[in-house]
């Protein structure tokens, strides 16, 4: 009987000790799920990297014209570095102009008899996903598309994306391109995971948020055969487009479509004093349904708004304990939490990457991150660029300089 009582007491002790963990887990798991009808998806806070929805986020998939986010980031970078101006002009090659006759390749019409401004090509690549425009801009930046592809790969590695598959600058299958326009096999196609795309978008919008001034435009005006022609944006979530919903003011970012990629979309919009990014990969539905990626995006953003709230979870100078150390928070901290969630149930750890908020313990400043949010955070890191070490050149003393002068003088005399 005594042994039986001991066993009962042991079981009760275990239950009592694990009850706080269990209650927090239950609270997190009560958040409803959603079927976005896509092969993969992601939703995260662009400012903090906090993930609110994740489905097959590490699965590498064909991305189509989502590729252009990287391409146009590097074009923007070149413009900001004054390597050329947006008023410089480029003449397309015959192959680039001929591509625009194929309506299936999402291009504005180009002619080898006309020079186009960098600004017009930049807008065309973002707003209507012009493949030839992206190719022309890549040539402008690096001299050739193959050199530009190597720059794209290098940039992604610096961002911690080590296994990206990038073969061309537009996102088409290599079979649609000429040999001098791609790396890899003739049927290769660019592939990234939703997490990879999330990392890319955060880098791009952190550094150049003004890109949204272009991606938010619902119309493109472009010179064609001596007149200005107007094209509709391929982003049908923008205000005035057929998939726009009031209260969800999308202002970017990029569609992606190929036979292998299906219909995909990276969207972004301001929401509750921050910015949300949505990623839908290979939306599922009838082939004739040309809006399915946008309906999947609508489901995803409604899921975020209906089930989460963005609220202050820590105040400036508030103290938190991490690994038995007490830290003072350096600023107010806002997070997305399930509605009716008790923020006192949040716990914190030191951040393992470049995300998080700063806190101080005995003059030691670290980044902390919430440890028990529903879906965690992006695996984000700032650019990992190797520092160039310049060797110091030994300076000559004044005596060495005098000796060298007379040596040279005598050598010339004798």
**Per-residue confidence (pLDDT) for residue 401, from 0 to 100:** 54
Query: What are the Cα distances from residue 333, in Å, to 10, 24, 97, 193, 316?
Result: 40, 20, 51, 29, 8
Structure tokens at 188: 């290769």
Residue 256: closest CA among 117, 111, 134, 378: 134
C-alpha distances out from residue 175 to 9, 52, 137, 184, Å: 70, 37, 21, 11
Better pLDDT: 389 or 184: 184
User: What is the predicted pLDDT for the residue at 223?
Assistant: 97
401 in any annotated domain? no
Output the pLDDT for position 374. 81
Q: What is the pLDDT of residue 30?
A: 57
In this prediction, residues 85-111 reach a mean pLDDT of 91
pLDDT at 383 over 80: no
| Catalytic residue numbers, as ranges | 65, 68, 129
Q: Is 254 marked as a binding-site residue?
A: yes
Express each pLDDT in 1-60 by its tens digit: 555 555 555 444 444 444 444 433 334 445 688 999 999 999 999 999 999 999 999 999
96 assigned to some structural domain: yes
Q: Is 106 inside a domain boundary?
A: yes
Decide if 168 is inside a domain.
Answer: yes
Strand partners, 327: 320
Which of the residue ranges 50-54, 176-180, 339-343, 402-406 has the most confident prediction, judged by mean pLDDT? 50-54
Residue 327 lies in a domain: no
Q: 238: domain CATH number?
A: 3.40.710.10
If you search the block for the tokens 């004054």, which residue do you land on? 82
Q: Which residue has the higher pLDDT, 12 or 230?
A: 230
Angle value at C-alpha 151, between 146 and 157, nearest 5 degrees:
130
Whether 250 shows a pLDDT value over 80: the answer reads yes
The answer to whether residue 31 is domain-embedded is no
Can you give the residue range of the structural domain that contains 252? 38-308
Conformation bin of residue 54: beta by default, left when phi > 0, alpha when psi is -120 to 50: beta
| Confidence (pTM) | 0.86
Kindly state whether residue 146 falls inside one of the protein's structural domains: yes
How many structural domains does the chain have?
Answer: 1
Residue 259 domain flag: yes
């Amino acid at each position: 009987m005594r042994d039986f009582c001991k066993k009962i007491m042991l079981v009760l002790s275990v239950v009592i000790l694990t009850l706080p963990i269990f209650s927090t887990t239950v609270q997190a798991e009560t958040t409803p799920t959603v079927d976005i009808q896509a092969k993969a998806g992601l939703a995260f806070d662009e400012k903090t990297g906090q993930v609110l929805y994740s489905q097959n986020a590490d699965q590498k998939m064909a991305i189509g014209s989502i590729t252009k986010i990287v391409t146009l980031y590097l074009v923007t970078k070149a413009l900001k570095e004054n390597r050329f101006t947006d008023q410089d002009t480029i003449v397309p090659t015959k192959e680039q102009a001929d591509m625009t006759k194929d309506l299936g390749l999402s291009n504005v019409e180009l002619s080898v008899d006309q020079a186009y401004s960098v600004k017009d090509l930049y807008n065309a690549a973002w707003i209507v996903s012009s493949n030839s425009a992206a190719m022309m801009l890549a040539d402008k930046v690096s001299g050739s598309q193959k050199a530009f592809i190597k720059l794209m790969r290098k940039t992604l590695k610096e961002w911690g994306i080590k296994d990206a598959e990038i073969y061309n600058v537009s996102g088409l299958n290599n079979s649609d391109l000429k040999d001098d326009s791609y790396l890899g096999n003739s049927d290769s196609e660019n592939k990234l995971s939703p997490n990879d795309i999330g990392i890319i978008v955060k880098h791009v919008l952190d550094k150049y948020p003004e890109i949204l001034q272009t991606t938010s435009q619902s119309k493109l005006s472009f010179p064609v055969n001596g007149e200005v022609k107007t094209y509709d944006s391929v982003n049908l979530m923008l205000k005035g487009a057929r998939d726009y919903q009031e209260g969800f003011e999308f202002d970017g970012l990029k569609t992606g479509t190929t036979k292998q990629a299906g219909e995909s979309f990276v969207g972004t919009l301001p929401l509750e004093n921050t910015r949300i990014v949505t990623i839908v990969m290979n939306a599922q539905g009838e082939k004739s349904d040309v809006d399915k990626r946008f309906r999947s995006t609508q489901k995803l953003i409604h899921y975020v708004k209906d089930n989460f709230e963005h609220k202050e979870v820590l105040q400036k100078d508030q103290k938190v304990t991490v690994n038995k150390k007490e830290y003072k928070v350096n600023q107010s901290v806002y997070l997305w939490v399930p509605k009716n969630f008790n923020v006192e149930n949040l716990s914190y750890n030191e951040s393992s990457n470049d995300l998080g908020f700063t806190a101080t313990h005995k003059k030691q400043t670290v980044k902390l991150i919430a440890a028990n949010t529903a879906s965690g955070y992006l695996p984000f890191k700032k650019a990992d660029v190797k520092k160039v070490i310049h060797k110091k050149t030994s300076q000559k003393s004044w005596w060495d300089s005098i000796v060298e002068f007379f040596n040279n003088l005598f050598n010339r005399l004798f």
